[in-house]
Amino acid sequence: MTQNLLYYAAHNSQIDSAVVYHNEGACARAMASSGLPRSSIFFTSKIYSNALSYSIAASQIDATLKTTGLDWIDLMLIHAPFGGPAGRKGAWTALVEAQEAGKVRSIGVSNYGVHHLNELEAHIKELESEGGGLGRGGVISVGQWELQPWLAHPDIVSWCKERGIVVQAYSPLTRGKRLYDPLLKPIVARTGKTAAQVLMRWSLQMGFVPLPKSVTPKRIEENADIYDFELTQEEMKLLDTGKYERSAWDPTVTPLSQ
């Protein structure tokens, strides 16, 4: 499933939305007016609540389908690990059931720390035991985190790569906060690319699926123009900062009890 998802994501238009972004309907209208076949657009949304539960997740999945008018959601993620062990297990159970019902094609999580991921792995095994067999507990196909040279989450990335989970990087451009960082200047000078393109290229060479955000057509085109150069091993090592400096929120540190 993960390999198929990677191929699909690499060869189709991707739309990253979420319940909390309040953009699902607008994205669906844009999809409908684009003239592109539904099969060529990979639509992602996310379940969000400060207190996750089975009922909240199930209702949000149905609400997304109603709001968008789509027949299916390509990827549905749990947006953040809020709600305690029982709440997270309930939300994951709702995702698994939605996938089995054909409402959702792939499922995953966002902003989970390694402790949340280990817990989810245990929940999957419990669901397999409760539901009668291997695979009945669901498969984590995708994980999404803020990933950039100053917040590379190596522990989370390693956990996912060991299990063949696709890693998506949101805020790969650090929300513009690091575009003038001294580390990027020599790479920009050598490549003739912009700092944003260097950061996008770093993300690709790290094996991530970057999710840049922009409303400016020129910048959208710039973000896609990253396949005619590569960062050297020395440059990748230079960008291995070892720092933990976020540009957005960071639910990965949320305790299991919350």
* Nearest residue to 120 (alpha-carbon basis) of 151, 155, 159: 159
Report the C-alpha gap between 167 and 172 in whole angstroms.
12
Report the C-alpha gap between 200 and 59 in whole angstroms.
35
What phi and psi values does residue 110 have, to the nearest 5 degrees? Answer: -135, 140
Report the C-alpha gap between 222 and 225 in whole angstroms.
5
Query: What is residue 12's predicted lDDT score, i.e. its pLDDT?
Result: 60
Domain for residue 245, yes or no? no
Query: What is residue 4's predicted lDDT score, i.e. its pLDDT?
Result: 44
Cβ atoms of residues 201 and 159 within 8 Å:
no
What's the mean per-residue pLDDT of the chain?
94
DSSP-H helix ranges across the chain:
2-11, 24-34, 54-68, 84-100, 114-131, 154-162, 185-191, 195-205, 217-224, 233-238
Interval 6-40: pLDDT, tens: 444 444 688 999 999 999 999 999 999 999 999 99
**What tokens does 6 get?**
């990677």
Crossing angle (nearest 10°) for helices 24-34 and 54-68: 40
Domain for residue 113, yes or no? yes
Domain for residue 98, yes or no? yes
**What tokens does 200 get?**
């996008």
CATH of the domain at 26: 3.20.20.100
Domain for residue 248, yes or no? no
* Nearest residue to 214 (alpha-carbon basis) of 199, 229, 202, 227: 199
Interval 149-174: pLDDT, tens: 999 999 999 999 999 999 999 999 99
Q: In the chain, how many domains are there?
A: 1
Domain for residue 199, yes or no? no
pTM exceeding the 0.85 threshold for the entire prediction? yes
- Residues with catalytic annotation? 21, 79
Buried b (16+ CB within 10 A) or exposed e, 56-95: bbbebbeebbebbebebbbbbbbbbbbbbeebbbbbbbbb
Cβ atoms of residues 126 and 137 within 8 Å:
yes
Query: What is residue 3's predicted lDDT score, i.e. its pLDDT?
Result: 45
Domain for residue 6, yes or no? yes
Domain for residue 244, yes or no? no
* Nearest residue to 137 (alpha-carbon basis) of 166, 168, 94: 94
The whole domain housing 119 covers: 2-146
**What tokens does 175 get?**
């929300």
- The HSE-up count of residue 25 (CA atoms within 13 Å, CB side) is 4
Domain for residue 235, yes or no? no
- Mapped onto helix, strand or coil, the DSSP state of residue 40 is helix
pLDDT classification of 2: cutoffs 50, 70, 90: very low
